[in-house]
Structures are given as structure tokens and as C-alpha cells.
Amino acid sequence: MPKLKPLSKAPIASAPVALMRPDTGPGGYSRLGFLGVNAEVYFPPGCSAYAKFVLVYPVGYNKTMYSVIETEEFAQWMASLRDTPTRIRLQRRLGKASRGNLGDVKPVGGDVYEMREFFGPGWRMYYVKQGAAIILMLGGGDKATQDRDIERAKAMALELQNEQDQDPPV
């Protein structure tokens, strides 16, 4: 049985890293432990590698996944951030959102939502949902510019809605 190894010096994972142990448990069951977690899972003899993977996959196949699309204005705002660690943290947040973990989100009206980050000056990112699986990032800012950013995001959302209403369905 192959041994799964975690990446060396990997960034902090959002889920425990699985480590397949070559030894077997009681009754010929194969054992799967989790690094940093006091837990083990036993699989019956003959359980396929695919079944083991599905059972321990950190996100799961049935959970909602999103396509995160950035508007040009959002991309410009993100590029304008001078602090590289801040940009990295916000990009990680978008990655988590694409995997279905939207985190701390608050509706601000007009189908616009605010992703809140509680570090630095209190970063905010604004988006609308389109359909069941698309998140369209509109803009961002911090707590100091929040009211102005919300109004701009609402105006952009209304503009996008008007464009969609005018476009004939394909």
C-alpha cells in the first residue's frame, strides 16, 4: 500500500493532513491517521484507494464549489495593495470562497455581499452571486472607506443586472 506524505514545510492547511500508514489495524483493516489530530480511520480489507480518498477528502465532492470571477475594478484594487502579505491573505480568502467556505459574510443590500476580514484596517471585499455557482467580485476597501465602497458595489451590481436584462438569452 502506498504511503501518503504531507508536503514538507507546507503552509498551514485548512484541514488535517492525511497520512496513510503501511501497517494494518485489527482484523486486516488498513489504518489512516491524521497529522496534528488525535484521530484514526480504519478501512475494511479490499477498500479501494478511491473510496479511501473520497472518505477523507477535506472539501468533499458534494459540497458547493464556486467560480470566483474578478471584475477589472476588483483586479485593479487588489493590484494596488502595496502590502504583499495582505494581498496574499485576501487571495487565500478568495481561494477558500471558491471551495465553498465563504467565511464571515454580510449582506449589504442590492444583492451585494461583503466579505469581512478582521486584520489590518479591516479589509472588505464586495461580491454578487450569479446563479448557484458563480461569485463575481466587484470591489474592495477597508473599514474607513466602507460606505463609499458599498455604494460603488451596489451601483456596479445594478449596472451588471441592467446589462444582463438587455442581453438576449443564448
CATH number at residue 80: 3.30.2310.20
pLDDT at position 132 over 80: no
Based on the fold, state whether residues 93 and 55 are members of the same structural domain: no
List the domain range (segments joined by +) for residue 146: 67-166
Q: Are 52 and 89 members of one domain?
A: no
pLDDT of residue 130: 86
**Same domain for 91 and 149?**
yes
Number of structural domains, the chain? 2
- Same domain for 105 and 49: no
Residues 43 and 78 in one domain: no
Mean pLDDT of 63-89: 87
Interval 31-50: pLDDT, tens: 555 444 445 555 566 666 65
When comparing pLDDT for 40 and 151, which is higher? Answer: 151
- CA 87/CA 91 separation, integer angstroms: 6
**What's the pTM value of the predicted model, to 2 decimals?**
0.61
Note whether 73 and 136 are same-domain residues: yes
Higher pLDDT, 15 or 88: 88
| H helix intervals, the chain | 49-56, 72-80, 84-98, 146-166
For residue 56, what pLDDT band results from cuts at 50, 70 and 90?
low
Same domain? For 49 and 88 the reply is no
Q: Average pLDDT over the chain, rounded to whole?
A: 74
